[in-house]
Amino acid sequence: MKSLNIIVYIDPASGSIIFQVILASVLGILVYIKKIKFFILRIFNKKHKEEN
């Protein structure tokens, strides 16, 4: 079995862009989940108030 040596170089500009894309994706997903959570809670809260 051969050993495979791969050298990867990421210059600072490319690394910065990759980091920003990953960070923006994670934050976007978290905000989206938070909006869905509050939407669902608001629906159940309305139903609860109508029953009283």
Domain boundaries, the chain: 21-52
List C-alpha distances in Å: 9 to 5, 14, 20, 21, 25: 13, 10, 18, 18, 23
Q: pLDDT tens digits for 1-52?
A: 566 677 778 888 999 999 999 999 999 999 999 999 999 998 888 766 666 5
Whole-number pLDDT of residue 8? 79
**pTM: predicted TM-score of the whole model, two decimal places:** 0.64
Rounded Cα gap, residues 39 and 32, in angstroms: 11
Contacts of 10 (CB under 8 A, 6+ apart): 18
- As a whole number of angstroms, the distance between CA 26 and CA 9 comes to 24
